[in-house]
Amino acid sequence: MKRVDIIVPCYNESEVITMFYENADKVLSEITSYKFEFIFIDDGSSDDTIDKIKGFAKKDKRVKYISFSRNFGKEAAMYAGMKNSGGDYVLIIDADMQHPIELIHDMLSAVEEGYDCCAAFRATRKGDPLLRTFFTRQFYKFTNKISDVNMPDGAGDFRLMNRNMINAVVAMSEVQRFSKGIFSWVGFRTKWINFENIERAAGQTKWSFWKLFMYAIDGITAFSTAPLRFASVVGSFVSLSAFVFLIYIIIKTLIFGPDVGGYASTITVILFIGGIIILSCGILGEYVAKIYMEVKNRPIYITKTSNIGESSGEDKDGDN
């Protein structure tokens, strides 16, 4: 019988984790043609999320967990789950009940049909703040235009993938991960299904506007070098204009003699060029920082405790 691993990244989800587990258990018990296993990733929660997960593991042999030494972010949590999964299929799902696990029926039929992956996207952003929705839309439009990956708006990480695709995703071992881009970059055939946006069952979102903004910049710089080219193009354009202007001034001075004044135009040009220089340095800096972080080659996550690879369900220490 084929096995499906359910990967659940959890960060301070104490309020919903039991509800999630019980509901998932109920839905999955109706499917008899597959075996299931849970891999809960406790992403350095400061509440008692891990204790609750250990509670599930005590009663249920299918429950595996990895607990991080600190908060490494959802990207790291998903990576840890995929890396430690051995199932034929892997489902990535949020712990907050925003991803209806019932969709697993459709997802399984899609992969049986021959798709490598079945991903769910939110058809609406009902319940999201308007400003956030607006900026997210613009981000997807912009990123899809300038990068070589295509990320549909509303696509989250809620998806079922087969072993081939999982192996490809895990093989991309970059430290600064942007899964939405990685899933698209590796290729494979993906079936898209949509679902209605559901509000969080309890607890609160870990995403502030600022965090999302930073995430957007990471997404753009991870899959495109177009901003660097933008700096070169704007730089060339400004230099060329400056050169034309210079010739104009020389000729004008030769014919009409020097004129004083022109404060407004001078200051405008200086500020404009200054702005472009700073912007270009900033863009360059983004990429240099990325190179810096990658060459350090630090682990993507560090495990504090885990019950993977043991049968008794007791703790094991070690890192990845």
Residue 184 half-sphere exposure toward CB, CA atoms < 13 A = 18
Q: Which is nearer to ligand UDP, 136 or 225 (CB)?
A: 136
Which range binds Mg ion by CB under 5 A, 21-29, 88-96, 255-263, 279-287?
88-96
Q: Which is nearer to ligand UDP, 74 or 191 (CB)?
A: 74
Site for ligand UDP in 87-126 (CB under 6 A): 94-96, 98
Q: Kindly state the smallest distance separating residue 304's Cβ from ligand UDP, in Å.
A: 15
Contact 38, 6 (CB under 8 A): yes
Q: Extract the tokens encoding 145.
A: 């235009």
Q: Per-residue contact track with ligand UDP, 128 to 157, x per CB under 6 A?
A: ------------------------------
Q: Extract the tokens encoding 79.
A: 């990576």
Cross-sheet strand order for the sheet of 35-42: 190-195, 117-122, 155-162, 89-92, 3-10, 35-42, 63-68, 303-306
98 is a site residue for Mg ion (CB under 5 A): yes
Beta bridge partners of residue 161, listed in sequence order: 90, 117
DSSP string, 83-96: HT--SSEEEE--TT
Q: Which is nearer to Mg ion, 43 or 96 (CB)?
A: 96
Total of chain residues touching ligand UDP, rule CB under 6 A: 16
* Residue 171: burial class (beta carbons within 10 Å; 0-12, 13-18, 19+): exposed
Q: Which is nearer to ligand UDP, 13 or 116 (CB)?
A: 13
Site for ligand UDP in 45-84 (CB under 6 A): 71, 73-74, 77
Cα dist. 54→18, 37, 71, 313, 319 in Å?
Answer: 11, 14, 18, 9, 19
Q: Which is nearer to ligand UDP, 4 or 10 (CB)?
A: 10
Q: Which does 178 bind (CB under 5 to 8 A by kind): ligand UDP, Mg ion, none?
A: none
Q: Which does 9 bind (CB under 5 to 8 A by kind): ligand UDP, Mg ion, none?
A: ligand UDP
Secondary structure of 115-170 in HEC code, one letter for each residue: CCEEEEEECCCCCCCHHHHHHHHHHHHHHHHHCCCCCCCCEEEEEEEEHHHHHHHH
Q: Kindly state the smallest distance separating residue 320's Cβ from ligand UDP, in Å.
A: 16
Rounded-to-integer distance, Cα 182 and Cα 167, Å: 12
Q: Per-residue contact track with Mg ion, 227 to 266, x per CB under 5 A?
A: ----------------------------------------
Binding test (CB under 5 A) with Mg ion, winner from 96, 97, 119, 306: 96
Query: Binding residues for ligand UDP, per CB under 6 A?
Result: 9-11, 13, 43, 71, 73-74, 77, 94-96, 98, 205-207
Query: Binding residues for Mg ion, per CB under 5 A?
Result: 96, 98
